[in-house]
Amino acid sequence: MKDRRIVVYVEDDPSVAGMLLIQFAKQLVDTSVRHFTSAEAALECFNKKTEVVVTDNTLVGKMTGIELAEELKKRAYDGRIIYTGGQKVPDNKINLFNRIFMKPYNLISLISEINGCEIGAQR
């Protein structure tokens, strides 16, 4: 049996999340997507098998997507972190992310980016 890539998707806007989750289900190859509306919930269920984290910045809860990325780095997470927010990432935080997609972003490009992350591959 082939391993499935684990993607953690953090987005609190139900319309954005709903649209993307439908597209993820249709277009992501060998992938299990776990959706959370807050960074805290994502961290609570996070494990080292997660290969890709896709996060918005403005989320419910106390943490932002940027703070989530900082916390993942503190935990020595070495998978890919993709930003999908509407606010510009401060210059001193850009290195937290492997790719930055500013809203409104191209959905095909985002899905291609996730699909391009080979299972088991490092950055």
How many separate domains does the chain show? 1
Largest CA distance in the chain: 42
Q: Which domain holds residue 27?
A: 5-113
Report the CATH number that the domain containing residue 86 is assigned in CATH: 3.40.50.2300
9 within domain boundaries: yes
Contact between 44 and 10 (Cβ < 8 Å): no
Q: Which phi and psi angles does 117 have, rounded to 5°? A: -85, 100
74 within domain boundaries: yes
pLDDT tens-digit map of 46-103: 887 889 999 999 999 999 999 999 999 999 998 999 999 999 999 999 999 999 999 9
pLDDT tens-digit map of 15-28: 999 999 999 999 99
* Predicted TM-score of the model (pTM): 0.90
119 within domain boundaries: no
Element (H, E) at 8: strand 5-10
64 within domain boundaries: yes
Per the structure block, which two tokens stand in for 74? 């503190």
